[in-house]
């Protein structure tokens, strides 16, 4: 279990007096230079936290847009994976001189195991990465990683299907924030999505003082504002990645999302 650290940069990004915008980007997509530029673009456009996806060949928890971006990123000679992502993250953090939004790496478990849990954690710390999300590592399976991950916030996922016991375990194991999966993946059904997400955030907040961020299926400023009314943060992935090749469209979308999230009317504390 990771103790809550005072001064967690990740947690602080949700504590600026307004809901936070978490923007997901795919590392190495469409290529290294463009994705590094995209990191700066979204940082400048108002992202409070950046979730940086590690390209992986079997992205079980991701939809088609992110899966395709991962495929493109990996297709360069020599591939693009966890080691390359950490190295690129390091370059970004250094360029922002720690004033930029904190970076959270989103990686599947097998690349971590392949590089080695200890080696992965060490390189991430060295790169100035703030945290990590491993979508196929449920809390029960996390002990070996948490044993190596000191200095990094490990964010776990809570789902509408999670029992209260599981939500408690997720909240206890998480650091930085808790990732609330806003729906079971039925995108487009906004009313249902919103109801499920709100109920989940309430269940999470009953268990922890950590920020609760909502993600999955949020693609428009309107939806983002709706989620920001009850969550501490809003995570937008596919809609951003779809524009990752076009810096102007990317900047415009993130600015619009940031305005919607930061200015949302809070319906709960």
Partner 1 sequence: MSGSLLPSAEEAYSSPDAQGFFGPYGGTFVPETVVPALRELADAFDAALADPSFGAELDALLTDYVGRPSPLYRADRLAAAVGLGTVWLKREDLNHTGAHKINNTLGQCLLAKRMGKRRVIAETGAGQHGVATATTAALMGLECAIFMGTEDIRRQALNVYKMRLLGAEVVPVAEGTGTLADAVTAALRHWVERVEDTFYVLGSAVGPHPYPTIVRHFQKVIGEEALEQLKQKGARMPDAVVACVGGGSNAIGIFYPFLRDVPADERPLLIGAEAAGLGLETDKHGAALTKGSPGVLHGFYSYLLQDEAGNPKEAYSISAGLDYPGVGPEHSYLKDAGLVRYEAVTDREALDAFALLARTEGIIPAIESSHALAMLPRLAAELGPEASVLVNVSGRGDKDMDIVREAGLGA
Q: Please give the residue ranges that form the binding site for partner 1 (CB under 8 A).
A: 56-58, 60-61, 67, 74, 79, 81-83, 108-115, 135-138, 140-141, 156-163, 166, 170, 181, 184-186
Q: Which ranges of the chain does DSSP label H, i.e. alpha helix?
A: 9-12, 32-44, 64-74, 82-96, 109-115, 117-127, 143-148, 164-173, 190-205, 221-228, 238-241, 247-262
- CB-nearer residue toward partner 1: 142 or 264: 142
- CB-nearer residue toward partner 1: 18 or 110: 110
| The dihedral sign for the CA sequence 232, 236, 174, 183 | positive
- Beta-carbon count within 10 A of 114 CB: 12
Among all residues, which ones are annotated catalytic?
51, 62
- CB-nearer residue toward partner 1: 42 or 168: 168
Residue 58 CB, shortest distance to partner 1, in Å, is 5
Residue 41 CB, shortest distance to partner 1, in Å, is 26
Residue 185 CB, shortest distance to partner 1, in Å, is 4
Q: What are phi and psi of 47, to 5 degrees?
A: -70, 135
Q: What are phi and psi of 199, to 5 degrees?
A: -60, -40
> At a CB cut-off of 8 Å and minimum separation 6, what does 13 contact?
20, 48, 49, 101, 102
Residue 184 CB, shortest distance to partner 1, in Å, is 5
């Amino acid at each position: 279990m990771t103790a809550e650290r005072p001064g967690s940069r990740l947690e602080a990004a949700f504590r600026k007096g307004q809901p936070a915008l978490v923007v997901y980007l795919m590392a190495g997509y469409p290529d290294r230079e463009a994705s590094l530029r995209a990191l700066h673009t979204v940082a400048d456009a108002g992202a409070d936290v950046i979730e940086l996806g590690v390209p992986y060949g079997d992205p079980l928890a991701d939809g088609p847009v992110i899966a395709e971006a991962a495929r493109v990123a990996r297709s360069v000679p020599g591939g693009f994976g966890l080691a390359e992502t950490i190295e690129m993250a390091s370059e970004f953090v250094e360029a922002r001189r720690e004033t930029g939004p904190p970076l959270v790496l989103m990686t599947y478990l097998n690349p971590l195991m392949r590089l080695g849990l200890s080696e992965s954690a060490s390189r991430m710390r060295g790169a100035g990465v703030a945290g990590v999300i491993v979508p196929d590592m449920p809390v029960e399976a996390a002990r070996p990683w948490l044993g190596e991950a000191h200095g990094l916030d490990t964010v776990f996922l809570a789902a509408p299907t999670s029992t209260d016991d599981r939500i408690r375990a997720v909240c206890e194991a998480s650091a930085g924030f808790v990732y609330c999966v806003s729906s079971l993946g039925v995108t487009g059904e906004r009313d249902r999505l919103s109801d499920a997400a709100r109920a989940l955030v309430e269940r999470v907040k009953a268990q922890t003082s950590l920020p609760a961020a909502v993600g999955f299926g949020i693609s428009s400023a309107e939806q983002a504002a709706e989620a920001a009314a009850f969550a501490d943060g809003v995570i937008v992935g596919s809609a951003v990645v779809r524009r990752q090749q076009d810096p102007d469209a990317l900047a415009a979308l993130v600015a619009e999302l940031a305005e919607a999230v930061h200015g949302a009317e809070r319906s709960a504390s």
